[in-house]
Amino acid sequence: MGITIHYAGKAKSPEAVDRLIDTLREISEESGWSYQLVNGKVMGKFKPFWGIGYGFKPSEDQILKGGIEFFPRMVSSQCNGYFKIYDTKFSAPVKKSFEKGVWPSFTIDTHKKGIQLTLHPKCETLSFIFDLQTLELASYEVYAHSRGIIYGFNGFSCKTQFAGFETHRIVCKLIKMASRYIDYTKVYDESKYYETENSHVSEETFEAVDNAMKSFIVWLTEKGLNATMCDES
């Protein structure tokens, strides 16, 4: 919960990956931000969970506008059968698996390279990590409870709510700067600053969301529920 900017796409060339990393590293060092370079092998069983699964039945309007599809064979006690399949190299095989009523998984053997920036202690990491085979922005995650399994996202997101509008503005400018090296297929800023550069409207959105979250925490506290579910940490 909190304002986030989402972005997906692919590098314009292998050389563009290196140029973007060098540019962001230099900017980080000049600005005093911490950063981490990413460069390594990715191999294992891959389960793409981006765009998979809905915990609620979407309305007809949501289905139409969101490109959500219904797969009858996927209906179970844990799944209602509604999915949004994003446009990536896995789209076609994922859809075929759903049509058969099977959860998809693939073997992946690739190399990832990129950079992660920490602009503010209360801002999520801003990541530009690429699959060097496809040049797509791709996050391949491995968790301790499921070793050997790689989970994947279609692109990245960066929550800025708790760091404040000024940090959000900088994140937007960095993502826009990176368009010199990336062909974006999606950039969605929940505050609309990326699209409009209207600081007044975006700051009002930040304040409104912040007030709503504070009110919700007060309501939880009054009900004797756990307010940490919305804690900024």
Tens-digit pLDDT profile for residues 162-182: 898 899 999 999 999 999 999
Burial degree of 17 (CB within 10 A; 0-12, 13-18, 19+): buried
DSSP H or E run through 15 = helix 14-31
Asked whether residue 51 carries a pLDDT value surpassing 90, the answer given is no
What pLDDT score does 223 carry?
59
What pLDDT score does 52 carry?
60
Cα Rg of the chain (Å, integer):
19
What pLDDT score does 233 carry?
44
- pLDDT tens digits for range 101-120: 998 888 989 999 999 999 99
- pLDDT tens digits for range 205-229: 767 766 665 555 545 566 565 554 4
Question: Which residue type, as a one-letter code, is found at position 9?
Answer: G
What pLDDT score does 47 carry?
83
Average pLDDT along the chain? 86
Between 209 and 95, the higher pLDDT residue = 95
Other CB atoms closer than 10 Å to residue 198's CB: what's the count? 13
What pLDDT score does 131 carry?
95
- pLDDT tens digits for range 132-162: 999 999 988 888 787 788 888 778 999 998 8
pTM for the complete prediction?
A: 0.78
Contacts of 55 (CB under 8 A, 6+ apart): 80
What pLDDT score does 143 carry?
80
Report the SS3 class of residue 121: coil
What pLDDT score does 67 carry?
87
Res. 49 pLDDT band, cuts 50 70 90: low
Asked whether residue 58 carries a pLDDT value surpassing 70, the answer given is yes
What pLDDT score does 9 carry?
94
Mean pLDDT (whole number) for 190-197? 89
